[in-house]
Amino acid sequence: MHDRVKGDHKISEAAIEAELCLRVRMLGGLCEKTVSPGRRGFFDRIVFLPGGVVFFVELKRPRGGRLSEHQKWYRAQMARLDVEGVVVIRNRADIDALFRHYATKKRAGGGDASDP
């Protein structure tokens, strides 16, 4: 893991992203960067975990990072389509919560990735 800095608010969005991807790989998953040419606001990463679990991840800086109107629109569209597993990650605690949720689903035998 990355060296702990006192208070996640001092950690960059890039460092949180790197930690997320490292932890996903440690579980045998994929943490894919997304590009949607001509479309602003699509999720930063799509996470694929063993068992068919998928999360759409928007990364934000720990302090002050807000969703843009385009990002809010995508979240609303996913909700309208009943797509589960849309998460915003701002810090290590959010990463921990994502993996606790995954571990619970895995123990329960579910592939559903509802919002942690």
For the entire predicted model, the pTM comes to 0.81
Is 34 among the domain residues?
Answer: yes
Task: Note whether residue 42 is domain-resident.
Answer: yes
Q: What is the pLDDT of residue 29?
A: 97
Question: Could you tell me if residue 116 is inside a domain?
Answer: no
Q: How far apart are CA 17 and CA 54, in angstroms?
A: 16
45, part of any domain: yes
- Asked if residue 114 is part of any domain, the answer here is no
Quote the domain boundaries for residue 83.
8-108
Token pair for 96: 């921990």
The closest of 57, 70, 69 to 23, measured between CA atoms, is: 57
Count how many domains the chain has: 1
Confidence of residue 2 (pLDDT cuts 50, 70, 90): very low
Q: What CATH number has the domain bearing residue 70? A: 3.40.1350.10
Higher pLDDT, 82 or 6: 82
Sequence-ordered alpha helix ranges (H) in the chain: 13-26, 69-80, 92-108
Contact between residue 91 and residue 16 where contact means Cβ atoms under 8 Å apart:
yes
Distances (CA, A) of 77 to 22, 33, 42, 107: 29, 20, 11, 30
Q: Assess if residue 66 is contained within a domain.
A: yes
pLDDT tens digits, 57-100: 999 988 778 999 999 999 999 999 999 889 999 999 999 999 99
Identify whether 13 is part of a domain. yes
